[in-house]
Amino acid sequence: MEGPLQDPYASAAVHAPRPRAQAGRAARIALVVVALFASVGFGALVVAPRLGGPAPSSGVVARPSPALVIAIRDLSRLETTEVHVEKVVDLADRQNRLFGLVQATDALLLVAVGHVTIGVDLARIGEGDIAMDPETGVARLTLPAPEVFSTRLDEDETYVYTRSTSLLARRNEQLEARARKEATAAIEKAALEGNVMTRAKAQAERQITALATQLGAKRVEIRWREVGGGGG
């Protein structure tokens, strides 16, 4: 007895998808690829296969000097010393009256108190001024000489002690302003006397050495550039 007749198209329907089904499957694959491109980006798809590749050979040489230069420059102006100075300014404006026969005077006595800030301008340091040996850990620095950053009068403590204008004298309204200017110059000059600059250098060396040590230097050698010398 012969078995039942088989549909000759049944096997084809099971093992081979219809052309429309193939098109639908291709469309779904395309949508998945587009979604991947949109979510991770084309660059990520290109780079990702390289992540599993062999690690590059080690040939990088560390140069810590630029990092040290940047870190020191970030401090910009390093204020090391502040000097408190008191100064008395005696200023008089002498005027001739009556064809020079009489001399009149407008005078004042100013008690001035001021502060002078001294430090090192680290922005003037160039890469050639700093060298660090990675093997020995010795850092060598050339610093610009200390300078006066600011001179200012203490307005709360500065005052006119006396002001006298003789009978025939004309009151000079600019006299006090000139006395303050004279006091500021005298205070700055007085602040630079003695061992102030030596103390400023010592304080700068302590602070710079502490910073370089934190950045990995085992020993720090500092020398000072001569006043008026070129900078990097």
pLDDT at 4 over 60: no
What does the mean pLDDT of the chain come to?
A: 77
- Please give the residue that has the higher pLDDT: either 97 or 106: 106
* Model confidence band, residue 134 (pLDDT cutoffs 50, 70, 90): confident
Nearest residue to 147 via CA among 232, 70, 224: 224
- Please give the residue that has the higher pLDDT: either 59 or 139: 139
Strands 77-97 and 102-121: antiparallel
Q: What percentage of the chain reaches a pLDDT higher than 70?
A: 65
Statement: the pTM of the whole predicted model exceeds 0.85: no
Most confident stretch, 40-54, 103-117, 131-145, 213-227: 103-117
Q: What is the pLDDT of residues 75-105, one digit of tens each?
A: 678 899 999 999 999 999 999 888 878 889 9
Element (H or E) spanning 21, and its range? helix 19-40
By the 8 A CB rule, do 144 and 124 touch? yes
Residue type, 44: A
**Residue 56: what pLDDT?**
56
Strands 130-133 and 159-165: unpaired
**Residue 55: what pLDDT?**
54
**Residue 26: what pLDDT?**
53
**Residue 19: what pLDDT?**
46
pLDDT at 224 over 90: yes
**Residue 102: what pLDDT?**
86
* Model confidence band, residue 145 (pLDDT cutoffs 50, 70, 90): very high
**Residue 17: what pLDDT?**
45
C-alpha gyration radius of the chain: 41
Extended beta strands in the chain, E state: 77-97, 102-121, 130-133, 138-143, 147-153, 159-165, 219-224
CB atoms within 10 A of CB 143: 22
pLDDT at 64 over 60: no
**Number of residues assigned to the chain:** 232
Q: How far is the CA of 24 from the CAs of 14, 19, 21, 30, 36, in angstroms? A: 17, 9, 5, 10, 19
